[in-house]
Structure 1
Amino acid sequence: MSYDSLRARIERVAEIATNLTNDPNAPKYHHVVPQSYIRRWTPGGKGAVRSVRIDDGRGKLVGPRKVGGVEQFYRLEADDIDQTSTPPLVVEVLLEVFDKLAKVRIDELLAAEPGPVTDVEMKRDLAMVVAAQMSRGQSFRQEQLDLLEYASRQDPIEHSKVAARIWLLSTGQSLDDETIEVAAAQMREKDRRSLISQDHKPQAIQLMMQNFTKLIVPLITRNWAVYCTQTPLLTSDDPVVVIGGPSTDRRVKPGNASAAVWIYPIDRHRLLAFFRPGISPQLPFVLDAVETYEINQEIVAAAYEKIFEHPDDDIASTITVPPWPVVPRAETVVELSRRPTRWFESAELPAAPVSRWYQR
């Protein structure tokens, strides 16, 4: 997708979203994973998918239109938001653009042989799709709400001084009191002017869009490869999974930049993997039954609430993971940044999946 094409689509998005503002038939059920994506786990792209709740194992067959979403999840609405300049459904409509792009590009990947992905346009387009998927789900939303709640408990002046001191130190500037005061005041003013609203939900959606743009270049610069699997894959309501690697603490979420590999199931038997620069995709580009089980376990463990599988498969019942741990409210930036995984309180931690990926 060229820059001019993307700009034209964004302008069209704004027009569509404006027209939907007062439309009683406007979409209310907002998908955190696209319908077209979920259909890849239905028989022949039609019918139902099995949706399974991880914590209690309860499953049911559901059509793609009513699975993988939350009511009004992306609706931008607050007393201090002008609907004429910021239509409530602008984000939902924008995500539909990426959903259509995803269908086209993933179809092309599935038509090709497994192996490295080097096509520049393919990587550029799918990087936008994957970055959007990483930012649009309930897990990321909760992280942003936690961040906003933490920030609301801090003294704004002292908080800005800490941020200013960190920024001045990282850029090699003076750390005298006057310079810190000026930089902190500028940061507070910038934050005030840049906030879309004082309400946390619109702020979280705004942070989602900012995070999405920051992920695109790091994604493109990774080494991509498609792997096929000997046994079926499942997927989830948070299908892009970040794997730190064998040397990282499995009890906390790894950082995106340092993680060895990010994975994204693109259909029942294909997995798209993004390796950190310096790690080359390993032959063969086929995952055996054990490796596929490890990947499925990783997908289940990273899911927010639900997994989705083909009705003919019975993968969910073979994988057990702990529930999300209940942790105390973060009182420091360090505590806030150490996001726990489902393995946070486990005595035995699973090894990072597909051990051959990390061998030099």
Structure 2
Amino acid sequence: MKINSWLTDDEIAKSKTITRNNSNRTRRHHYVPQMYLRRWTTESTKTVRFTEISTHVSELKDPDSIAYEENFYQIAADDIDLDAHPDLWFETHMSRIENAAARWLRSLDGLPDGRLTDPNLRANLAVFVALQGLRTPRQRASQLDIGDRIEQYGARTILDNPIALALVCAANGIQYDPSSHNQILETMLASEPISQEAKPVAIDSAIGIWRRAIAPHLTERSWWLVSSTEPLLTCDEPVVLVGKPGQSREYVRRYYTTPLILFPVGPHRLLVLTDSNQPLTRPFSLDATETSAVNLEIAANCFEFVYERADTNIAANISVPDRPETNPTAETFWQEVNTPTRWLGSLSAPEWPLQRWTQEHQR
């Protein structure tokens, strides 16, 4: 499979060069791109409504002033060579991708509902959607927690298991061969991290997973455009993994095994990614009940905030449980790093949405 240029060493080197030659030090790092949130603004108002889902406190603000943390993507530590690795190169690289992604998303506006057939557009969107799924505060917290748990349990203890090592290989785009288990294990254990500090390691790990695993995986999925007459939300975790009837809702699903991946691209448009051999059936539009279920799923998936048009207030009527920090019953490394959802332990978890596309007869 051809590697998308945005994932290559050449483009990353270009971003590093741009960063070295740029005297501007951007401190406000948006984990939800401004250009993406502006798709929920109107000509009459340049603001979006953002709501803290736990309190329902809501405000109208410009996308520039929300969904950011200062220096969130700065990769800096005393043991990092800042000439070889300029501290803001990843922020630069994401900004370059976002500039291109604004065009990619606009191109969707002129396309009809149904299957997305342009392979170049799919490959580019895979880069953007995968990046958005891995750049968020929840994902950063998850990477930091994994680092802590590795320190607790020991890397060799965790990885010296065929199932565990195969999972880690898949996450890093490495082909696992049981006959080479020991060789792969020793190679992994001998690899030096970018730093001894936790934040650079967490960012570097997310970059690797994005480049070598998730973006290539999304490229291989089938992509579909779906519309809705009722307005859609988005959130600070807008890549939403959806299961099928009978699958647990208590833990965040995995990219490789989830039947559907949802990504809102506007207040009335949704990207739906399916398994490569799973077509969607008509109609490629959501009725009011389906839109409501998708909005609930988006709200439940958020880390803290949901976003919508200024002239709507959908989030005011959505209630979801608080997000659990940890799994209180975890006893092993893999249980501890299995991210719980808001439905952990809930007796009132809703059914998965869009079951007309995930029922067994559709697979």
TM-score (norm 2): 0.89
Q: Does 1:143 align with 2:149?
A: no
Deviation (angstroms), 1:139: 1.3
Structure 2: distance between partners of 1:326 and 1:131: 24
2:230 and 2:163 mapped to 1: Cα distance? 52
Which runs of structure 2 are paired with 1:150-299 in the superposition (5 Å)?
150-159=149-158, 161-162=160-161, 166=165, 171-173=177-179, 180=182, 184-190=185-191, 192=192, 195-213=193-211, 214-299=213-298
Q: Which moved more, 1:326-335 or 1:337-346?
A: 326-335
Q: Which residue of 2 aligns with 1:16?
A: 18
Could you list the structure 1 runs, at least 4 aligned residues long, displaced by more than 2 angstroms after superposition.
1-12, 154-168, 170-175, 182-188, 326-331
- Where does residue 98 of structure 2 map in the other structure? 99
Deviation at 1:206, TM superposition (A): 0.4
Partners of 2:247 and 2:164 in 1: how far apart?
29
Establish whether residue 352 from structure 1 lines up as the match of residue 352 from structure 2: yes
Q: Shift in Å at residue 224 of structure 1?
A: 1.0
Secondary structure of the 2:76 match is coil
Q: 1:279·1:358 contact (CA, 8 Å) conserved in 2?
A: no
Q: Partner of 1:153: helix, strand, or coil?
A: helix
Within 2, Cα distance between the matches of 1:219 and 1:204? 22
CA-CA distance at 1:239 after TM superposition: 0.6
2: distance between equivalents of 1:292 and 1:338? Answer: 28
Distance in 2 between residues matched to 1:251 and 1:4, nearest whole Å = 34
The Cα offsets for residues 70-90 of structure 1, whole Å up to 9 and x where unpaired, read as 111100111111111110100
Cα distance in 2, alignment partners of residues 137 and 45 from structure 1: 30
Where do 5+ consecutive residues of structure 2 fail to align? 170-175
Structure 1, residues 166-222: CA drift from partner, whole Å, max 9, x if none?
569x634388xxxx5x765443212x2xx1101110011001111111112211221
* One-letter amino acid matched to 1:265: P
Contact 2:236 2:304 in 1 (8 A): yes
Give the drift of 1:143.
Answer: 1.0
Say if 2:70 is the partner of 1:68. Answer: no
Letter of the aligned partner of 1:301 in structure 2?
Answer: A
Identical-pair percentage: 31
Count of residues in Structure 1 that have an aligned counterpart in Structure 2: 348
Query: Structure 1 stretches of 5 or more lacking a match?
Result: none
Equivalent-residue separation in structure 2 for 1:43 and 1:221 (angstroms) = 34
In structure 2, the residue corresponding to 1:97 is in which secondary structure? helix
Mapped to 2, the partners of 1:93 and 1:149 lie a distance apart of: 28
- Cα pair distance change 1:261/1:164, threshold 3 Å: closer
**Aligned partner of 2:206: which letter?**
M
RMSD: 2.5
Structure label with greater radius of gyration:
1
Task: Check 1:174–1:109 CA distance in 2 against 1; reply closer, same or farther (3 A cut).
Answer: closer
Q: Any conservation in 2 of the 1:224–1:281 contact (CA below 8 Å)?
A: no
Aligned CA distance change for structure 1 residues 307 and 215 (closer, same or farther; 3 Å): same
Distance 2:11 2:146 in 1: 32
The one-letter code sitting in structure 2 at the alignment partner of 1:284 is: P
If the length of structure 1 is used for normalisation, what is the TM-score? 0.90
State the alpha-carbon separation in 2 of the partners of residues 329 and 27 from structure 1: 41
* Partner-residue secondary structure (3-state), 2:19: helix
Shift of 1:4: 9.5
Q: Structure 2: how far apart are the matches of 1:32 and 1:207?
A: 17
Report if the CA contact (8 A) 2:50-2:308 is conserved.
Answer: yes
Distance 1:174 1:136, change over 3 A: closer
